[in-house]
Amino acid sequence: MKHLFKFKLVLLLAVTAFYSCSDDGHSDSSIKSNEQNSEVLIGEIPLNLKGLQIGTKTTLFTYTTVAQAIDSVDTSFSTLFQESLDEFNDYNDISDVYTKVTISNGEAYISEILHYDSNSDKMKRGWYLDESINKYVVYSAPVLQSININAAKCPGGYTELANCGNFSNPQECVASAIKDYMTNNLTNPGDCTMIYTKVSLTNTRVCGKKC
C-alpha cells in the first residue's frame, strides 16, 4: 500500500516540470504531453484500503448488464484480495481482514471493512460506508465490541461459497466462487447481492447473500 506515496511524489515532480516548462516557453504540445502522462499515472493507481479511513465510496466496477458484471470479477476481486493481504504489512495486530462488497444497480462497491485479531478475539477497527454522505466512517469502540465474529464460518445470513487456500492460486478460487454465485443470483442489473470475504494469511473464505 505504499504506492500512494510514490504516486504523490510522481505527481509533485510532474507539476514542478509543468511550471518549469511554462516558464521556459515550451510549446502547448509539451504541456499536453505532460497532462496525458499524468492521466496515465492516475489510471494506474491501484485500490488502496487505507483510503477508506478518509475516502469517498470505493467502487470496484460498474456494469450495465449481468454478463458485464461477471466479466469484471476477476480483475477487481484479485486486486481486492491483494490489498487485503497488504493490510497485514500495515497493521501488525490483526489476523483477518473482512470486506463486504455490495453489488447492486450497476455498481459493485466496498460497503464495510473490518480488522479482526483471533489471538485476543477482538475486532480491532472497522469502517463502513455512510451512504447519506457517500464516505467511510470509523466504527466506534462500543459498536466494534458488539460485532460478533466466528472466524470458522460466514456471518449470519450468508452462505459459504468457497474456502480457498492462499498458497494455491487463491485469486482464481475466489473469483470462480463469486462468478458462480452471481450467475445464479443476479438476473438483471437492478438485483442486489452482497459478497463477504475473510482474508487471513493462510486462507480466504468467500460468503454471499441477497440484499
What is the pLDDT at residue 42? 25
State the sign of the Cα–Cα–Cα–Cα dihedral 200, 203, 205, 206: positive
Task: Give the model confidence (pLDDT) of 138-192 as tens digits.
Answer: 999 999 888 888 878 898 899 999 999 999 889 999 999 999 999 999 999 999 9
pLDDT value of residue 169: 87
- Residue 101's closest CA among 121, 84, 116, 117? 84
pLDDT tens-digit readout, 45-101? 345 566 555 577 889 999 999 999 999 999 999 989 988 998 998 899 999 999 999
Is the separation of the CB atoms in 108 and 59 below 8 Å? yes
The answer to whether the CB of 152 falls within 8 A of the CB of 158 is: no
Domain residues of the chain, as ranges?
A: 3-43, 49-210
Ramachandran assignment for 121, one of left (phi > 0), alpha (psi -120 to 50 degrees), beta (any other)? left
User: Any residues with CB less than 8 A from the CB of 77 and at least 6 apart, and which?
Assistant: 60, 101, 171, 174, 175, 178, 197
Q: CB 77: neighbour CB atoms within 10 A?
A: 24
Residues 211 and 171 sit within 8 Å (Cβ to Cβ): no
Most confident listed range (21-35, 36-50, 147-161, 194-208)? 194-208
